[in-house]
Amino acid sequence: MKKIMILLMALAIGVALYEQSSPDKNVYVMVVAIVVFMIGMMKLSSKTPSKNQDKEEDDDIQKRR
């Protein structure tokens, strides 16, 4: 799933860059490519743990004592 999302995001970036360089720019294609990229980033980053997660767990343990 992760590899598919990365491939889809790379494809969206490629389409957006190609559309940007063409003489007849289509805004709708660029907007869709950016939306696909942002949704992909959101899904990939949702699985990344927070830096503060360990600190929050330690704080919760200390509060219980």
Residue range of the domain that includes 40? 2-64
3-state DSSP helix/strand/coil % of the chain, to nearest 5: 80, 0, 20
Q: What is the pLDDT, as a whole number, of residue 34?
A: 92
Distance CA 60, CA 53 (A): 11
With 80 as the cut, is the pLDDT of residue 48 above it?
no
Q: How many domains does the chain have?
A: 1
Per-residue pLDDT of 12-38, as tens digits, reads 999 988 888 888 888 899 999 999 999
Confirm whether pTM is higher than 0.75: no
Distance CA 61, CA 46 (A): 25
Q: What is the pLDDT, as a whole number, of residue 57?
A: 60
The mean per-residue pLDDT over the stretch 35-56 comes to 79
Beta carbons of 33 and 12 less than 8 angstroms apart: yes
Mean pLDDT, the chain, integer: 82
